[in-house]
Structure 1
Amino acid sequence: MKQRSLAGNCAIGVFVITLVCVFVSFCAPAWLVSDYRITGAKLDKLGLWSHCFRSLADPSDEYQRRFFVGCRWVYDPFTTGYDEIRGFLLPSFMIATQFFFTLCFLCVLVAAIMVLVFFLCFGPDQKHFILLIRVIAALLLFAGFSGGIAVIIFASLGNGKGWMPEQENNYLGWAFGLAVVGVVMAFISGTLFVVESVVQQKKKKYLKESQTRFEMEHETKA
Structure 2
Amino acid sequence: MGNATRLSGWTIAGTAIIALSIGCLIFAHAFPYWQESEKSRDTGVPNIGLWNICFRSEGFPAPAYVDDSLGKRYYNCYYVFDRDLRMVRSQWIFKDWFITVVIFATLGLVLQPVSIILNILYYVRVCSPHKEHWLMMVSSLLNLVNGFIIALAIFVFGIMASRDKEWMPQPESNHLSYSWGVAAVVPVLSFIAAMCHTVDFLRLKSYRDRDARAKIYARGEFSKY
TM range (shorter): 0.7 to 0.9
Matched with 1:183 is 187
Q: Is the 8 A contact 1:50 1:71 kept in 2?
A: yes
Matched with 1:66 is 72
Deviation at 1:116, TM superposition (A): 2.1
Matched with 1:20 is 23
Matched with 1:36 is 39
User: Which amino acid in structure 1 is aligned with residue 142 of structure 2?
Assistant: L
Question: 5 Å matches for 1:1-222?
Answer: 1=1, 2-38=5-41, 40-54=42-56, 55-59=59-63, 60=66, 66-77=72-83, 79=84, 82-86=85-89, 87-119=91-123, 121-122=124-125, 126-160=129-163, 161-213=165-217
Further displaced range: 176-185 or 26-35: 26-35
CA distance in 2, matches of 1:123, 1:116: 9
- TM-score of the superposition, structure 2-length normalised? 0.84
Deviation at 1:212, TM superposition (A): 4.5
**Secondary structure of 1:84's partner?**
coil
Q: List alignment gaps of at least 5 residues for structure 1.
A: 217-222
Question: What does the per-residue CA deviation read over 1:33-54, in whole Å, with 9 as the maximum and x for residues that have no partner?
Answer: 112344x341121111111111
- TM-score of the superposition, structure 1-length normalised? 0.85
Q: Is the 8 A contact 1:108 1:143 kept in 2?
A: yes
Question: What does the per-residue CA deviation read over 1:163-199, in whole Å, with 9 as the maximum and x for residues that have no partner?
Answer: 2112222111111111110122112111221111111
Percentage of identical aligned residues: 22
Matched with 1:219 is none
